[in-house]
Structures are given as C-alpha cells and as structure tokens.
C-alpha cells in the first residue's frame, strides 16, 4: 500500500476522459497538514479553526491564533488554505464558553455565535489576515449561513478588519471569501449567496442532518442518516446546477466527498473540487482515475431515478465493481 500511495501522490485526479477534479483536504491540526502533503493534496478545502480553540482553556489571543494559522498557510503555500471561521455550538463545545440549550443543533451555532460576538470574529479575522501576509494563499469560509443578511454582516466585518490592517501598514491582499451550504434554506438561495461571495462549499454532514431531521451523532437514529437519500442527492445536484449558472466555484467538504461512491456522483454532478480527510484521498483519487466522467454522468442519471437510499448505494457499488 505504501508504494501505491507514493506512486499516486504526484498523479493528477483525472478521469479516463481527461476531466480533472482537484482533491483538497480537511485539516484541524498541523499534523493533518503534513500528512496531507504526503498524500498529494492540492490545497485545504476546510481548516476547522475550532480545533486549536478546543485545545486551549481560554480564547487564544490574536497573536496566538496568527502563529497557528501561519503554520497552516506556510505548510501549503502556494496552494490555497480555506479557513473556516469559528464553528462552535451544536456538537462542538469550548469548555471556557459553555452553551446550554435544549436544541443545540437548531440554536446558537457557527456564524450565529460570532456575529453576536463581533469582538471574537474580528480578532480571528485579523489573525487570519496577518498570518497570510506575504503568502496570499488564504481563503475565508463562513459556517452555518442561513440568510444573505448574515453574509452581508460578516463581509462588512471582514472588510473592516482588512481596512484596519492596511491602516496599520500591513501589506495584505483581500482573500477570497466563501460560504458553506449546510442549512437547507441556503440550498434555495444559491444564486443570491453566489452573488455576494467568491466560492461555495457544501457541508454535506450538516446538510444531510438538517434535510433528514436526523442528528448526525445519535446512534438511535443512525440508520436514518442516509448520505445517499434521494432528497439529499437532489439537493446536491440543485446546488451544483445553480452555482454553475452563477459562475461560482462550488465544492463539497463533508464526509461524502471522501467516500469513493460519493466522489463519483459529486464529480458527475459538476462539483469543481472535493475536500476530504487525508486518509481517504488516495482511495478517492484511484477510483476517479479508473472511470470516465461520461460513464459517471450516465450512472448519475440512472441513480437519480431511484427512490431509495440502500438501492442507490448498491447500484453505485455494483456499477463500480463492474467497471473494475
């Protein structure tokens, strides 16, 4: 396996008919970044900034954050690193900032927390921007967006932080800013969101949980959490279509992108890039290299006619096996 991994590392993620789809990675720790490079990642599609926050017993200062972010950016430069702003609440807790709610997944999560605490948001954005000085490979991504107002508010704060830094004589370029599509409402506003930002990225973990009303971490309903539920596939396909129509790059950074079956369908739907755990990258790459885009599109057409998740999964599995 080690030899296979090495051989795959420098080969492009390209289908038999020459369609290239960049494979990026999801990171949290610096060790993830190093492992990702060994596996030939072309960028970071999701850096979960809550991970370094969880390892402290208080909010990290601007300069502490800057150091941590700089490490990520430098490790991947000149390739892009997509830093998601603090996504706490729901299943992600900070001991020093407890949030107690009856319905945490429908409560104070992600962008909702940081827009209510602009001081936390601004410190983080300043740290990201300062960390990117001279590297220019930063992208900023906003989690849990459910309305354009949140995007406008967040963009306003990002511009403000950037303007402040320029006034303080830093030489920092304005990074691309994108939003996560992980709340069902956002699926119906792709064009409006795309008009405001540089890229979109689907958080299929949360999107699936919210579309199906199934807690992604509750073992009792684990059987109902179906990544290949026809409604989920229909939403994913709509997102890709509307993003294309808006000329805005769209990727997937949820677990689905890191499963070979999911990656095949997402590539066929027209997603521009897939971001996954480094562990899954070689497997996904080798599967994509073994098929043609044309073949995957025919499979997608067939699968979109099926009304049950288990049958969808077995259909994709059988087709992949037949294709060798």
Closest among 174, 185, 186, 197 to 246, alpha carbons compared = 197
- In the complex, minimum distance from the CB of residue 83 to ligand PEP, in angstroms, rounded to a whole number: 13
Q: Between residues 59 and 210, which has the closer beta carbon with respect to ligand PEP? A: 210
Question: Of these, 32, 206, 242, 272, which contacts ligand PEP (CB under 6 A)?
Answer: 206
Regarding 254 and contact with ligand PEP (CB under 6 A), the answer is yes
Q: Across 67-213, where does the E strand assignment appear? A: 81-84, 138-142, 176-181, 199-202
Q: Tell me how many degrees the CA angle 73-76-79 measures, rounded to the nearest 5.
A: 100
Regarding 258 and contact with ligand PEP (CB under 6 A), the answer is no
| Share of the chain residues as helix, strand and coil, in percent rounded to the nearest 5 | 55, 10, 35
- Count Cα atoms within 13 angstroms, Cβ side, for 28: 11
Residues that bind Mg ion (CB under 5 A): 182, 203, 206
- In the complex, minimum distance from the CB of residue 174 to Mg ion, in angstroms, rounded to a whole number: 25
Q: Between residues 206 and 242, which has the closer beta carbon with respect to ligand PEP? A: 206
Closest among 204, 185, 117 to 145, alpha carbons compared = 185
- In the complex, minimum distance from the CB of residue 255 to ligand PEP, in angstroms, rounded to a whole number: 7
Q: Across 112-217, where does the E strand assignment appear? A: 138-142, 176-181, 199-202
Q: Under rule CB under 6 A, which residues in 43-102 are in contact with ligand PEP? A: 46, 48, 87
**Out of Mg ion, ligand PEP, none, which partner does residue 254 contact, by CB within 5 to 8 A per kind?**
ligand PEP
Q: Between residues 54 and 165, which has the closer beta carbon with respect to ligand PEP? A: 54
Q: Tell me the Cα Rg of the chain.
A: 19
First-to-final CA distance of the chain: 18
Regarding 205 and contact with ligand PEP (CB under 6 A), the answer is yes
Regarding 141 and contact with ligand PEP (CB under 6 A), the answer is no
Q: Between residues 87 and 150, which has the closer beta carbon with respect to ligand PEP? A: 87
Regarding 203 and contact with ligand PEP (CB under 6 A), the answer is yes
**Out of Mg ion, ligand PEP, none, which partner does residue 253 contact, by CB within 5 to 8 A per kind?**
ligand PEP
Rounded Cα distance, 311 and 314, in Å: 5
Return residues touching ligand PEP (CB under 6 A). 46, 48, 87, 182, 203-206, 253-254
């Amino acid at each position: 396996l080690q030899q296979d991994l090495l051989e795959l590392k420098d080969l492009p993620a390209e289908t038999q008919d020459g369609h290239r789809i960049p494979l990026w990675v999801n990171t949290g720790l610096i060790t993830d970044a190093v492992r990702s490079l060994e596996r030939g990642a072309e960028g970071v599609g999701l850096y979960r900034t809550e991970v370094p926050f969880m390892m402290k017993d208080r909010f990290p200062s601007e300069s502490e954050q800057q150091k941590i972010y700089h490490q990520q950016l430098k490790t991947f430069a000149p390739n892009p690193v997509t830093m998601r702003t603090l996504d706490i609440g729901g299943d992600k807790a900070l001991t020093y900032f407890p949030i107690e709610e009856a319905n945490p997944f429908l409560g104070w999560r992600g962008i909702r927390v940081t827009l209510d605490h602009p001081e936390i948001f601004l410190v983080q954005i300043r740290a990201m921007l300062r960390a990117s000085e001279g590297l220019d490979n930063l992208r900023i991504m906003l989690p849990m967006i459910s309305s354009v107002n949140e995007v406008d508010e967040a963009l306003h704060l990002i511009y403000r932080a950037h303007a402040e830094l320029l006034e303080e004589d830093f030489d920092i370029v304005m990074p691309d800013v994108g939003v996560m599509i992980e709340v069902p409402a956002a699926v119906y506003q792709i064009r409006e969101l795309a008009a405001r930002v540089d890229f979109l990225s689907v958080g299929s973990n949360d999107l699936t949980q919210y579309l199906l009303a199934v807690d992604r971490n509750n073992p009792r309903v684990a059987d109902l959490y179906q990544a290949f539920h026809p409604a989920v596939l229909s939403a994913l396909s709509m997102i890709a279509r509307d993003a294309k129509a808006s000329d805005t790059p769209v990727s997937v950074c949820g677990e689905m992108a890191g499963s070979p079956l999911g990656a095949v369908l997402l590539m066929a739907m027209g997603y521009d890039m897939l971001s996954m755990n480094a562990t899954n990258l070689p497997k996904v790459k080798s599967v994509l290299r073994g098929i043609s885009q044309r073949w995957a599109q025919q499979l997608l057409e067939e699968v979109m006619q099926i009304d049950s998740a288990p049958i969808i999964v077995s259909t994709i599995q059988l087709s992949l096996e037949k294709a060798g």
